[in-house]
Amino acid sequence: MDGSKIAAHVAVKNTLSLVREGRKRLLKCLKEESAQELKDLIEPLSDGEYADHEQLLAAEIERGRELIGRLEGRDDEKLASELTVYRSILEGRGVASFADPEARWGFERKDEPFLGYKVHAACDETGIVTPATNPSWSR
pLDDT for position 19: 96
pLDDT interval class at 2 (50, 70, 90): low
Q: What is the mean pLDDT of residues 17-28?
A: 94
pLDDT for position 66: 96
* Residue spans per domain, the chain: 2-9+101-138, 15-90
Q: What is the mean pLDDT of residues 31-45?
A: 85
User: Among 25-29, 42-46, 131-135, whose mean pLDDT is lowest?
Assistant: 131-135
d(CA 45, CA 99) in angstroms, rounded, equals 24
pTM over 0.85? The answer is no
Residue 139 has pLDDT above 60, yes or no: no
d(CA 4, CA 117) in angstroms, rounded, equals 8
Contacting residues for 133 by C-beta, under 8 A, at least 6 apart: 119, 120
